Amino acid sequence: MTRRYAGIAYLPVVLAIIIFSYTGCDFDKRDFLDTAKSTFAAFYNSNYRTTDSTIDWHVLSINGDEIGRTYIQLTTDYDKAAYRKATVVRLRTLCTQKGWNPANMKNWRISERGVESASVTADGPRGTITMTLRKYQAEKRIGTIQIR
């Protein structure tokens, strides 16, 4: 194979790399959106198993209230579980006061994106919810929830 043909053989690979980097091909994007949607449905439906695994309870902040600070000071598993349950009930109450449910939340989108994080926003009948997620190994975890 001559040098000219060798260069042409690499052209598709180089073009693919350029296209993927400029088009924003992001395999994590769908995971961030799916995690935010499933977590919203989980706290709306009081599915504690899902919220336990998708919310980062050690750093959680809801509308500026540092939930995680209180959580890390709890010493027993029973107290931590009760606190998580009370927080999920609070989230459900905030959403039902706005008239939100999983069916009427629309336009789920990535509103901000970092290297290992994303903010996912959805529109409801009377406001928006934004969840900021961080990537921990293969999992996405919610650390901040803003309800407006």
Segments making up each domain of the chain, as ranges: 27-147
Q: Which pLDDT belongs to residue 136?
A: 83
- Predicted local confidence at residue 137, as pLDDT: 79
Task: Give the Cα separation of 126 and 116 in Å (integer).
Answer: 30
Residue 13, pLDDT score: 57
> What's the pLDDT at 27?
62
Check residue 26 and give its pLDDT. Answer: 57
User: What's the confidence (pLDDT) of residue 112?
Assistant: 93
pLDDT at 3: 60
Which residues, at least 6 apart from 70, have a Cβ–Cβ distance to it below 8 Å? 83
Q: Token pair 């050690």 is at which residue?
A: 58
At 94 the pLDDT is: 92
Residue 21: the pLDDT is: 45
Below-70 pLDDT ranges, the chain: 1-27
Class of domain 27-147: alpha beta
DSSP string, 47-70: -HHHHHHHB-TTT-EETTEEHHHH
